Amino acid sequence: MQWAEASLAELWRCFLPGRQTAEAASRLAEAPARTRACASLLEAASVAARAGDQHSLEAFELVVTKLFDGLRALSDERRPPDDTPDAARRPRALFLCAVLLCQGAFASAPPECVARHTEQTLRALLRLSEGAVLAPQLAQLEALVLEQLPSAECLVDMTMELASGEEPPRETQQALVLRWLVAALELPRLAGALHANLPRLVHCALHLEAPATAAADLLFAALHSLCVDEEAHCALAMELIHLLVARCKQALSVEASMHPHRPPTGGGSMTSPLATVPSDSRRGSSDDAEALCDLCFRLTIALELPLLTSALSAAEELVTGCPAAWQCTRSAATLREAISNSFESDLKHLLVQWLLRLRAKILSQLPPREAVS
């Protein structure tokens, strides 16, 4: 396997910064071709390990060790500031290189070999996530790795590490970890193990940067993976919903303290608490409270019947308990829009009737001069 090790060593040189810009650019330009060549060599080694003897298996393991050692060295490298175009392309090229190499190494490898290196593969991608991009090869590698992942414990650990780090995680880091959690929840073998940790995972996601975006897919996937006809799963689902509602209340409280008299956004007004807020008015908003409430309402109306009554009560409490009056107006408008856009035809009539009762309750609480005739 010396030829594979030598090829990897040549490939790593493509990502090292040169003393001159032209030198670094020339080496980086060689990376795609060298990556494809190394991936082919790794695939050949994995095929030999699958069909060969113990010696072939040991040789393959040695090459895989060299692969991860090289990726770690490049991810740990501290480069001087460099604003050249090639410096900006290097992280992306390195991430795609890692994806292709790992895919080549494990696509045909013995399952037990893949299982031994699943966590190592995921952590290598995380370390190189500065250049993370969505690509078909990434999806294929993720599916391969998660299918052979011995335990979901490493995914839980990675999520906790995101929240406990001294510095905020990169957006691409949290996107990758949450993407893997969502995919794992679709695999029955891993979903069962994740269920016990769902409250911790959701709590963590709700306290990351842009919490509504971070937690949305995880919450929908988590609730979809639960069988709410079972008492234990139903209780777990409600715990997740209450975590989201509590986070909404926290964000609303912070927002109200910063903007106690801020006027409603969009088309809302105090005289029409259930007026529609155009969806464009929220696009690109950095307001955590608004985005979290929107997520809460969309999630609520998508729930199954065993959860719906309790979830609607929590949503009503959220709308009517906003610290500022303008927040109540906005939340009611957001809720109305969510129900209007709902495709749950079997429940639509029930949701509309509930919304009308909520509207009457809100109007009864407004001062006389603000009530709608």
- Average pLDDT for 33-45: 94
pLDDT of residue 18: 59
Residue 268 CA to residue 225 CA, distance in Å, equals 36
Q: Which residues of 122-156 are buried (b: 16+ CB within 10 A; e: fewer)?
A: bbbbbbbbebbeeeeebeebbebbbebbeebebbb
Q: How many CB atoms lie within 10 A of CB 36?
A: 14
Average the pLDDT over 134-157 and give the result: 94
Most confident of 26-40, 68-82, 332-346: 26-40
- Rounded-to-integer distance, Cα 245 and Cα 263, Å: 23
Query: Alpha carbon of 72 to those of 12, 59, 68, 95: distances in Å?
Result: 11, 20, 6, 12
State the pLDDT at residue 267: 39
The more confident residue out of 305 and 250 is 250
Radius of gyration of the chain (CA): 26
- Res. 345 pLDDT band, cuts 50 70 90: low
Label each residue of the chain as H, E or C.
CHHHHHHHHHHHHCCCCCCCHHHHHHHHHHHHHHHHHHHHHHHHHHHHHHHCCHHHHHHHHHHHHHHHHHHHHHHHCCCCCCCCHHHHHHHHHHHHHHHHHHHHHHCCCCHHHHHHCHHHHHHHHHHCHHHCCCCHHHHHHHHHHHHHCCCCHHHHHHHHHHHHCCCCCCHHHHHHHHHHHHHHHCCHHHHHHHHCCHHHHHHHHCCCCCHHHHHHHHHHHHHHHCCCCCHHHHHHHHHHHHHHHHHHHHHHHHHHHHCCCCCCCCCCECCECCCCCCHHHCCCCCCHHHHHHHHHHHHHHCCCHHHHHHHHHHHHHHHHCCCCHHHHHHHHHHHHHHHHCCCCHHHHHHHHHHHHHHHHHHHHHCCHHHCCC
Q: What is the mean pLDDT of residues 141-155?
A: 95
CB within 8 A of 304, min separation 6: which ones? Answer: 228
Confidence class for position 51, pLDDT limits 50, 70, 90: confident
Cα(52)–Cα(138) distance, rounded to whole angstroms?
A: 28
Confidence of residue 103 (pLDDT cuts 50, 70, 90): very high
Query: How many alpha carbons fall within 13 Å on the CB side of residue 262?
Result: 17
251: buried, middle or exposed (CB in 10 Å: 19+, 13-18, 0-12)? buried
Q: What's CA 338's distance to the chain center, in Å?
A: 22
Q: What Cα–Cα distance (Å) separates residue 140 from each residue in 107, 115, 187, 312?
A: 9, 16, 15, 39
| CB burial of residue 349 (10 Å; 0-12, 13-18, 19+) | exposed
Indicate if the pLDDT at residue 202 is higher than 50: yes
As a whole number of angstroms, the distance between CA 106 and CA 117 comes to 9
Q: What confidence category does residue 338 fall into, taking pLDDT thresholds of 50, 70 and 90?
A: very high
Structure tokens at 302: 């998508």
Over residues 255-291, the pLDDT tens digits come to: 999 888 765 454 333 333 333 333 333 333 436 999 9
